[in-house]
A and B are shown apart, each in its own frame.
Chain A
Amino acid sequence: MTEQGVRWTAEQVLALAPDDASRKAGGRLGGAGSWSQTGGSASGSVWGLCKGSGSKPYQTVVDLTGPAYKCSCPSRKFPCKHALGLLLLWSAEGAGEPGEAPDWASRWLASREEKAVRTAAGPARPVDEEAARRRAGRRAARVGAGVAELEQRLTDLLRGGLAGQEQAGYAAWEETAARMVDAQAPGLAGRVRELGTIPSCGPGWPARMLEEAALLHLLDRAWLGVEGLPEQLAATVRSRVGLPASGEGEAVRDRWQVLAQYDSVSPDGRLTTRRIWLRGLGGGRPALVLDFGPPGRPPGLALPVGLVLEAEVRFRPGSAGLRADLGERSAAVAPYAEVPAGVTTGAALEAYGAALRQDPWLESWPVVLGPVVPVPGELGWQLADARGTCALPVPLSGPGSRSRGGLWQLAALSGGGPLTVFGECGHRGFTPLTAWQPGSAEPVPLV
């Protein structure tokens, strides 16, 4: 079949929108009335002219394999409302018989192809291995100094006692975090910042703070002995400290199902992180693809929940084999696959526990849970096994928790009955991200 053969659903198109306003505006442009000279090619692109407020219509073209967008409108949103409208039109009505792209569209499509070929041909410049080694050595030394300083800070903390932390405030930890950034160890900086926020996070904070401080200490110790660690664990330590991945990862070709996509904004609002969870339909392997957006701009990579794409996924070494980069991919294979098989709450925790062997700093593990019944409660929500008496709590605040709106959506889908849920299972509980209603293969992202 042609790559254009499978159209996306309107939900999947709307999931690409950078914000609500664009979603709304795009929705309005999804009717045939706004468009002229629309068409599509067999290689997976669609184009059209959209009537705007000016005399000249906007030229919009979308490469579905990216997806990548190009529009002559001045909007800085990405994708813009015209691209969304065009995709909606395509999802509702298709683009007719594959045809020849007009000049303005084919120029851009051709330049994309060239770029892809150039990238595939490999880096143009030969790597100066000697210089790279020297740079890595210098960086390792700076990280080492940072680790030593952090160990001192933790020792002081335990010597003086945690009790003083409630008054001590966040500033001292912020300063330590800044020192870790200077030491080129962003991973440590992030954990230090988290540590500093714990005393203001309600009852039970001393135990949580000790646990986080101890895990930070464990990371320091692991760094100091990283040369002696097995290769995978050493890679995990390096990536947890915040060093760029070294060495080639394992490449896996499969049909990947998008299980979830959600954004989180850093506390200072300067960086948006998009997490995309994939699952190999053939091999069953989970993969986490991250993308980042600068202030005020959403990350560029957008994969609608449910979509199945044929692609090569390159796993980074370490980190329990979750972090991955999306390699060469074809257009979508199908709007969605069947409902993945779920496991019980006990098995979910076992999977998380097993993953900790490879990465003791792992916060959570991706799990398809089911059949489970969401149990709303005044004090906290649970997901309870449909049979038996076991349940997982749902974290309502703190890192990894989602909005309550998503939980009510989950409850509404269940109506008190069992369903299948995908989410992150960790030491704080299970965070639901996507749900399947009984009798429907269509995933519902919990927003």
Chain B
Amino acid sequence: MEKPDEEYGDWEALVGAALLGTDRRRGGGPAGSPQALLDAAAVHAVRRRAGLRPAEAAARPDPAARDPRPAPPDAARRRLAQLLAGRTAGNGSGRRGATPDLTELLPQWLAAAARHGYRSPAALVPALLDAARARTDLRPQALALAGARGLWLARLNPDWRFALRGGAGGAGELPEATDPAGVERLWQEGLFAERVALLGLVRAHEPAAALRLLQTTWSTERAEDRLMFLDSLRAGLSDADEPFLEAALGDRSRNVRATAAELLSALPRSALAARMAKRALACVSPDGVVPPAECDAGMLRDGVVKRPPAGRGERAWWLGQLVEAAPLSCWGERFGGLGPADIVALPVAAGEGWAEELHAAWCRAAVRQRDAPWSRALLGAPSAPPAAGPGTPSLAERAKLLETLPDGERAAWVAEFIRAHGLSEAFQLLGVCVVPWAGTLGRAVVEALDSAREAGSYPWSFSGVMGLAERCLDPAEAGSLEALTAAAQDPPDASPGAAAYWSEAFQRLTATLRLRATMLTELTPT
């Protein structure tokens, strides 16, 4: 094949001739046959392939920062891979069967790994970032686990850019809170996410130092950033923050002003709280309720929103905002030294509409000021029918009130509620209880599930609570549930087949509890 090689010395010339076609190629070049062209191209192709040289290397990425945390044990690493794979595999069938739902266990695994102070196995960091991308609720923990390696990867892949801007968990390479020079440098030069994380870190270490740091650049920050930074002051909020927040009431941005007012109203000794108390006391007395007639400039400055949402009267709207922001401590004296429970129980004269408005505002105030005695009063007795309670019939609001109670009291209240009213309204209330559930609460839930089974209804009417129980029951309860997993005969008046479905649901519950126990054991360092 020497000859054609000489005729088509150059690959470009060969491709040109092939594009054009040998029929159309006249003069100039060699009038080769298609065969000769293919022969020459074959020689070129094999020679090119046999003689390939490496390319010039592009700029290598900077190495990722070292993550000093230990990797989790092998079994735990495999479990994480399984949980992450389960996320994408999907379940397919609608019915859940007797096997655990792995997706729902990922948050617990991440939380437990964080308690042990592990880093993510490197090979799983991409899957972890994908999971965090799909589920915002996983982000803080997933990103914390991924650590420096995760941030490094996120800089390379636009799909994972969220990891660089999200406020939470982006902390991969933060300086020590006690290293003023490092803190100062990152605060001045860092990305927004890094700065938010830094502020949180410093705030947790020494609240006043975070405030000082924020004040150095406050006037030059963008409005959205000011809002986020202000929000980080929620943690460790104290009277020392008042002057700064009071000044922020005059901010250019309405959202910043509103947030500053909200934070100040959570400080019962603040000047704003005092102003609000004065306004609220002027409206509410043992004799009745007289809502404000107008929304003046002072109220506006203190964060009161003038325009009510559609369908609400403006006077009621203003009243609600004043009472919500007033310190709850001001009411005892107003009502002749009565305690919260007595005040809440008083009939409110002059129009029933105001009573509802007033109690709803007290609920919001109790939540904002994290006032356990008022929350307790507003919640009433757990056995009382929800609609007849003193505070609010809304389960969402009640759940918030419950959050202000100490852990044990909260669990006991919800347990009592379930014993009195069953499970149908317990879902949101259970959601605020500390995991794993306390013994009394766990037993109340299991007993209620068992009575539902005996009543003959289908288990999927309780799928929400069942799912919660799988995630939140103490794994140690698995043994006591064993008896319930046996397939029993349907009770006489039950829905057909219900007993078998219940046994399956309880099997899944115990299997999940066992899996959770195994999961936690696997994470224990060997």
**Alpha-carbon gap, A352 to B52, bound state (A):** 9
Q: CB-defined interface of A281-305 with B at 8 Å, one 1/0 digit per residue?
A: 0000000000000000000000000
| Cα of A53 to Cα of B93 in the assembled complex, Å | 15
Q: How far does the Cβ of A265 sit from chain B's closest Cβ, in whole Å?
A: 19
Bitwise interface map of B from 12 to 23 toward A, beta carbon under 8 Å scored 1, else 0: 001100111111
**Interface contact B100-A408, CB-CB below 8 Å:** no
Q: Mark B75-100, 1 if CB is under 8 A from A, else 0.
A: 10010011001101100100001111
Interface residue A66 (Cβ < 8 Å from any Cβ of B): no
Mask, B28-59, CB within 8 Å of A = 1, is 00000011011111101110111111111111
A215 in contact (CB, < 8 A): yes
A374–B504 Cα distance when bound, in Å, is 49
Residues 154 to 205 of chain B near chain A (Cβ within 8 Å): 156-157
Assess whether A28 is interfacial by the CB under 8 Å rule.
yes
A225 and B51 alpha carbons, distance in the complex (Å)? 26
With known contacts A23-B85, A25-B99, A412-B122, A375–B19 Cβ distance under 8 A: no
**What is the CA–CA distance of A75 and B176 in the complex, to the nearest angstrom?**
56
Are A408 and B35 interface neighbours, CB within 8 A?
no
Contacts of B504 in A (CB 8 A): 53
A267 close to B (CB within 8 Å) = no
Known contacts A158-B37, A206-B19, A376-B157; A360/B57 CB under 8 A: no
Are A218 and B46 closer than 8 Å at their CB atoms? yes
Q: Which residue of B lies closest to A163 (CB)?
A: B19
Which among B11, B23, B55, B99 has the highest number of chain A CB atoms within 10 Å?
A: B55
Residues A159 and B58 in contact in the complex (CB < 8 Å), given A415-B64, A444-B123: no
A56-64, A113-121, A139-147, A385-393: which lies at the interface = A385-393
**Interface-central residue, A416, A417, A437, by most chain B CB under 10 Å:** A416
**Assuming A53-B98, A214-B41, is B57 touching A161 (CB within 8 A)?**
no
Q: Which of B262-270, B292-300, B511-519 contacts A (4 or more CB under 8 A)?
A: B511-519
Distance A173 CA – B179 CA, assembled complex (angstroms): 70
- Quick one: which of A24, A408, A415 contacts B82, CB cutoff 8 A? A24
Q: Do residues B61 and A376 form an inter-chain contact, with CB atoms below 8 A? A: yes
Q: Is the CB of A211 within 8 A of B51?
A: no
- Pair A356/B50 contact, Cβ less than 8 Å: yes
| Complex alpha-carbon distance, A392 and B100, angstroms | 45
- Interface pair A391/B63, CB less than 8 Å apart: no
Q: A156–B38 Cα gap in the complex (Å)? A: 12
Interface flags, A1-36, vs B, CB<8A=1, else 0: 000000001110010000011011101110101000
A217 at the interface (CB under 8 A from B): yes
Main secondary structure of the interface of A (DSSP, over half): helix
Closest Cβ of chain B to A391, distance in Å, is 4
| A158 with B58, Cβ < 8 A, contacts A20-B88, A217-B39, A408-B157 known | no
Closest CB-CB distance, B120 to chain A, in whole Å? 9
Is A211 a contact of B41 with CB atoms below 8 Å?
yes
How many interface contacts (CB-CB < 8 Å) are there between A and B? 193
Is the pair A10, B78 in contact by a Cβ cutoff of 8 Å? yes
Q: Let me know if B126 is at the binding interface, CB within 8 A.
A: yes
Q: Report Cα–Cα, A389/B56, bound state, in Å.
A: 6
Known A24-B86, A27-B82, A444-B123; judge A158-B18 contact (CB<8 A).
Answer: yes
In residues 367-401 of chain A, which contact B (Cβ within 8 Å)? 373, 375-377, 382, 384-385, 388-393
Q: Are A412 and B126 in contact (CB under 8 A)?
A: yes
8 Å CB contact of B21 from A159, A211, A215, A444: A159
B42 touches A215 (CB 8 A): yes
What residues of chain B lie closer than 8 Å to A28, measured between beta carbons? Answer: 99-100, 102, 511, 515
Residue B62 is within 8 A (CB to CB) of chain A in the complex: yes
Tally of B interface residues using CB under 8 Å = 68
Report whether A385 and B63 are in contact in the complex, using a CB–CB cutoff of 8 Å: no
| B24 part of interface (Cβ distance < 8 Å) | yes
Does A31 lie within 8 Å of B44, measured CB to CB? Answer: no
Residue of B nearest to A23 (CB): B85
Whether A390 and B54, one on each chain, are in contact in the complex, defined by CB atoms closer than 8 angstroms, is yes
In the assembly, what is the distance between CA of A155 and CA of B50, in Å? 26
Chain A's interface size range is 35 or more
Would you call A389 and B57 a contact (CB within 8 A)? yes
Give the CA-CA distance A155 to B504 in the complex, in Å: 69
Given contacts A20-B89, A158-B37, A427-B49, contact A437 B122 (CB under 8 A): yes
Q: How far is the CA of A427 from the CA of B52 in the complex (A)?
A: 7
Q: A375, B15: Cβ atoms under 8 Å?
A: no
Asked if A411 contacts B58 (CB within 8 A), the reply is no
- The answer, yes or no, to whether B60 is at the interface (CB within 8 Å) is yes
Residue among A213, A392, A427 making CB contact with B38, cutoff 8 Å:
A213
Using an 8 Å CB-CB cutoff, how does the interface string of B477-501 with A read, 1 for contact, 0 for none? 0000000000000000000000000
- B368 lies within 8 A of chain A by Cβ: no
Q: Are B57 and A390 in contact (CB under 8 A)?
A: yes
Alpha-carbon gap, A388 to B53, bound state (A):
14
Contact between chains at B41 and A210 (CB < 8 Å): yes
CB-based contact A416/B82 at 8 Å? no
- Which A residues are CB-close (under 8 A) to B34? 154-159
Cβ contact within 8 Å between B49 and A356? yes
Closest beta carbon of chain B to A13's beta carbon, Å: 10
Which of A14, A31, A163, A373 is close to B518, meaning CB atoms less than 8 Å apart? A31
Q: Which residue of B lies closest to A28 (CB)?
A: B99
A408 partner, pick from B38, B55, B85, B153, beta carbons under 8 A = B153
B50–A357 touching, CB < 8 Å: yes
A67 is an interface residue with CB less than 8 A from chain B: no
Question: Which one of B38, B48, B56, B102 contacts A154 once the chains associate, using CB atoms below 8 Å?
Answer: B38
* Cβ contacts under 8 Å, A92 to chain B: 75
CB-defined contacts of A411 to chain B, threshold 8 Å:
126, 153, 156
A23–B89 CA distance with the chains assembled, in angstroms: 9
| Inter-subunit contact B24/A161 (CB<8 Å) | yes
Indicate if the CB atoms of B21 and A163 lie closer than 8 Å.
yes
Query: What are the residues of chain A within 8 A of B85 when measuring CB–CB?
Result: 20, 23-24
Choice from A14, A209, A210, A391 contacting B54 with Cβ under 8 Å: A391
Q: Let me know if B45 and A215 touch, CB within 8 A.
A: yes
Say yes or no for B152: interface residue by CB 8 A criterion.
yes
17 A-B pairs with CB atoms under 8 Å apart are A9-B74, A10-B75, A23-B82, A27-B82, A28-B99, A92-B75, A158-B34, A163-B19, A163-B20, A210-B41, A214-B41, A217-B35, A217-B39, A382-B57, A405-B126, A409-B123, A427-B52
A-B pairs with lowest CB-CB distance, top 9: A161-B21, A214-B41, A416-B63, A158-B34, A390-B54, A391-B57, A384-B57, A415-B64, A214-B42
Additional pairs, 6, CB under 8 Å, beyond known A27-B82, A158-B37? A11-B81, A20-B88, A207-B11, A213-B18, A360-B46, A376-B61
